[in-house]
Structure 1
Amino acid sequence: MSGTIDRLLAEKRIELPNAAVPVANYTPVVVADGTAYVSGQVCSWNGEFKFVGRVGRDFSAEEGREAARMAGLNIVAQLKNALGDLDRVKRVLRLNVFVNSAETFTEQPKVANGASDLMVEIFGDAGRHTRSAVGVAQLPLGVAVEVDAIVQVD
């Protein structure tokens, strides 16, 4: 049975990747006391790493934004896998966006908008959240962006 969010995804032709299997000793999603904590998701698509490199050197801010959107799609895929129904999402509370940045790159907020805009596109006002956008010297497997999330759920 399709829920409201699943129908919206179909209408907007937003495809979700398969929920990634952990590559280390962690759980992709922990749900406790009405809150889902989603482990960092990178810019991969069905196990294939995309956007490997640094934003501001190997990728433009706009390409970084695409990488952040892809990481956001992986967050949504993990939520769907853990919750079974995306209609259980009451509110996206927080995103932390880590950008593998060239030394002089300072447009991390623009990159982070890729994930932030996606949450609003999918969940409407419930997708509006607090956020950090941080430039880092390196990310796992050399990817350009990693995003984690805290989400209020039923």
Structure 2
Amino acid sequence: MDNMVVPNGSYKLAKRIGDVVYTSGITPKIDGELIMTGKISAADDISKYKEIAEQTIKNAIYVTDQELTLHESVTEVVDMTVYINASDDFTQHARIADFASDYLFKVFGEDGLGTRTAVGVSSLPDNSPIEIKLITAVK
């Protein structure tokens, strides 16, 4: 993957404990740059955030994979938290999170669907529209 995912501060992007990998909050960056910034509002066409959510979850999978040895893989998604930089009038948080869930299903099948929380927040680092935290089981 040409995409360089680097932390925004003094923390690890992912941490493995046993057969579980926890990611930090991951944003939609390519080559270290956010591909979109700003709040998501009720007036926005939700479909324009599909690419953003997919890039974010791809980055989360990438940092997860960095914690694996050569013959290991993700066996299932345990939990995903999707933070949405939302305006006060935005209420379609689950639809944005569905874009990430649908991508996980495409990659991992039924094992890609774990528990999930979608939360609207007043801001995110660097004005990112989305941030995702992923927990996976690996073997």
Same fold? TM cut 0.5: yes
SS of 1:134's partner is strand
State yes or no: 1:107 paired with 2:109. no
Q: Structure 1 residue aligned with 2:13, among 25, 28, 45?
A: 28
Is 1:73 matched up with 2:58?
Answer: yes
Verify the 8 A CA contact 1:79 1:86 in the aligned structure 2.
Answer: no
**Matched residue of 1:152: which SS?**
strand
What are structure 1's unaligned runs of at least 5 residues? 1-15
CA gap of 1:35–1:46, structure 2 versus 1, over 3 A, is same
2:68 pairs with 1:83: yes
Give the 3 Å change call, closer, same or farther, for CA 145–113 of structure 1 in structure 2: same
Counterpart pick for 1:94 among 75, 79, 85: 79
The range that moved more, 55-64 or 136-145, is 55-64
TM-fit CA distance, 1:128: 1.0
Letter in 2 for 1:30: K
Q: Is this contact kept in 2: 1:28–1:78, CA < 8 A?
A: yes
Residue 105 of structure 2 aligns with an amino acid whose one-letter code is V
Q: 8 Å contact 2:83–2:131 — kept in the other structure?
A: yes
On the 8 A contact 1:54/1:100 being kept in 2, the answer is yes
Question: What is the percentage of aligned positions where both structures have the same residue?
Answer: 27
Query: 1:50 corresponds to which residue?
Result: 35
Give yes or no for contact 1:29–1:79 (8 Å, CA) kept in 2: yes
Q: Report the equivalent of 1:3.
A: none
Say whether the 8 Å CA contact 2:46–2:96 is kept in structure 1: yes
Which one has the bigger helix percentage?
1
What is the TM-score when the length of structure 2 is the normalising length?
Answer: 0.91
Q: CA RMSD in A?
A: 1.8
Between Structure 1 and Structure 2, how many residues are aligned? 139
Q: 1:5-27: per-residue Cα shift (whole Å, max 9, x none)? A: xxxxxxxxxxx552411120111
TM-score norm. by structure 1 comes to 0.83
Q: Please say if 1:145 is aligned against 2:130.
A: yes
